[in-house]
Amino acid sequence: MSSSWLILSLAVVVMWGAWAFLVKLASQHLSWQEIFILSNLVFFLFTLGLLLYVKPSFAGASQAVFYVLLAGTIGSLGTISFYTALSLGKASIIVPLTALYPVVTVILSVLFLHETLTVKQALGVALAIAAILLISQ
């Protein structure tokens, strides 16, 4: 098995860590609305470039398109909440707390996709939930 996924995953950790830090720096001078607009302008430019390069058809995937549009809506609301939280509180608390979002994914996957967890994995989720309680106090 190629380790490309691991390299990319570690790159995500570094980039998202730097992203959250830069958003916190920006929030000292800009509103969450201004940060959202500017960051999404950059995101749009990347999207436009990909759209021109790939030229997707989205044919025959109406349910998948619905899921992606819903995910985009929820993701945008989450980003707005994140930017607002960073403008109000400490990055050293907010970033680790919000980085526990995979717990929600795990719970939804177990409930609706009928995925199973090993005992160790379930213990990891329980520890993540405990981390939420510890970090937020």
- Domains of the chain, residue spans: 4-90, 100-137
Instruction: Please check the confidence at residue 60 and state whether its pLDDT lies above 80.
Output: no
For residues 76-99, give the mean pLDDT: 94
Do the Cβ atoms of 67 and 75 come closer than 8 Å?
no
The torsion angles phi and psi of 125, rounded to 5 degrees, stand at -65, -45
Does the predicted TM-score (pTM) go above 0.95?
no
Instruction: Please check the confidence at residue 53 and state whether its pLDDT lies above 90.
Output: yes
Pairwise CA distance, residues 44 & 83, whole Å: 18
- Percent of the chain with pLDDT strictly greater than 90: 81
Q: What pLDDT does 80 receive?
A: 97
DSSP state of 58: -
Cα dihedral angle (90, 72, 45, 38), rounded to 10 degrees? -30
Instruction: Please check the confidence at residue 120 and state whether its pLDDT lies above 90.
Output: yes
Cα dihedral angle (32, 35, 37, 43), rounded to 10 degrees? -130
Angle between helices 91-98 and 62-88 (to 10 degrees): 160
Q: What pLDDT does 137 receive?
A: 81
Q: What pLDDT does 62 receive?
A: 86
Average pLDDT of the residues of the chain: 93
Instruction: Please check the confidence at residue 1 and state whether its pLDDT lies above 80.
Output: no
Instruction: Please check the confidence at residue 125 and state whether its pLDDT lies above 80.
Output: yes
For residues 82-104, give the mean pLDDT: 93
